[in-house]
Structure 1
């Protein structure tokens, strides 16, 4: 397999930050509860996108019009943006991220980022960490109508790079990233920057895990374990 592009998740993969996800959950849940979603459906064990999805299921099921739901999503996104942007001062590059990207570009590969973070946060994070110049295409949450885990988010990044799903590797650290890659028909490499997420990836069926971003170089060069869809 000849790869021509590598797409990365952002937080937890290329960068490390202290985004307050607990605060995100509280803000999103409050908006949805105020709109009529029963609070006991929005448990703390749910990820942000799962909370939004659960809320949409209830409100749409009760007949909320498209326009009203979109207004609610705009409010939710603004709250998410505010929490993310407040964390910019904590951003740092993940270990060996700069070297990995520099070497990929030296191999004349395309580099993309597909993230559920907002574009303002993603752009500034990459700039602050010195990684922005390596990235050929960035597709953030507010660049798409259907963000991850919807595969259309990742496929838009592939399109932005001018590539095709079978020529791309997606590197991410969560089961959301894994599911997105599988549904998009794209080769996946799990990055274990956090042992808990590494465990979750293994339990979800991810077969190819790395704990050093430089190992992506070996995989692209064909010196790592062969890839299959959702590897």
Structure 2
């Protein structure tokens, strides 16, 4: 069975965390909040309404939170999407092309809602590289629960134990391990290499070219499987 490769977007495929954090900071300051930069950056890659509520001291379903989310999304196209393909991190376009050429189904599991995820993937020119895109508003439970990863693998006809997830945050690693996927964490995104290693990432790498080489190498039939609990590895692991 061909291995399925699943990806996060922000901080993994696209160089968006700094721009997103700046935009979130601007929005919550409009409502009187004064969070620190690290506090804002820590929200990148997490569901927007929950992040805004935490920064604003409101509830997820509060009217103020809803208004802040609407302001964020209205500015996202101008402040972020307008940069288009230049948002792609080095090696991403070439790497995805190599993976598809090798016959691997590709999917996305992201904390973005459906409209935002498709808009970003389309703006960067890589939407057509993916066979499915599963978003936070398409599952009952978001990251770090396994629902999104399991849905992607199921839709692409794969097995979790033969599939890989690539992300840049601890919650990415936690989701993938809960679903029984192997994990490649990238250290150029939101969380540090040390935090990603501590979370249990199988591999931590510094660039997307290495992600591509590693996935194509490890997807060989002898690379082993992982149990659905994220423990009990068998086969080759390095």
Q: How many residues align?
A: 213
Q: CA offsets per residue over residues 177-217 of structure 1, 9 Å max, x none?
A: 01111222221111222495223212333231223232222
Instruction: Tell me how large the CA RMSD over aligned residues is.
Output: 3.7
Q: Given the superposition, is the C-alpha separation of residues 118 and 78 from structure 1 closer, same or farther in structure 2, using an over 3 Å criterion?
A: farther
Report if aligned partners of 2:58, 2:64 keep a CA contact under 8 Å in 1: no
**Bigger mean CA deviation after superposition, 185-194 or 77-86:** 77-86
Map 1:89-128; keep pairs closer than 5 Å. Answer: 89-91=82-84, 92-128=87-123
In structure 1, the residue matched to 2:70 is 78
Q: Please list the CA deviations of residues 145-169 of structure 1 after superposition, one character each: whole Å capped at 9, or x if unmatched.
A: 4322232122222233233322311
Q: Give the whole-Å Cα distance in 2 for the aligned partners of 1:94 and 1:46.
A: 18
Match among 211, 214, 238 for residue 213 of structure 1: 211
Of the three residues 158, 175, 183, the one matched with 2:178 is 183
For the residues of structure 1 that align with 2:68 and 2:39, how far apart are their CA atoms?
17
2-structure distance, mates of 1:166, 1:204: 18
The runs of 5 or more residues in structure 2 that have no matched partner are 232-236
TM-score, normalisation: structure 2: 0.70
Alpha carbons 2:100, 2:106 under 8 Å: kept:
yes
Change in 2 beyond 3 A, CA 1:25/1:153 = farther
Distance 1:154 1:27, change over 3 A: farther
Cα separation, 2, equivalents of 1:16 and 1:198: 17
Secondary structure, counterpart of 2:95 in structure 1: helix
User: Do 1:189 and 1:209's aligned partners in 2 also have CA atoms closer than 8 Å?
Assistant: yes
**Structure 1 residue 147 and structure 2 residue 142: aligned?**
yes
Q: Distance in 2 between matches of 1:113 and 1:167?
A: 16
Q: Which runs of 5+ in 1 are unaligned?
A: 34-38, 61-67
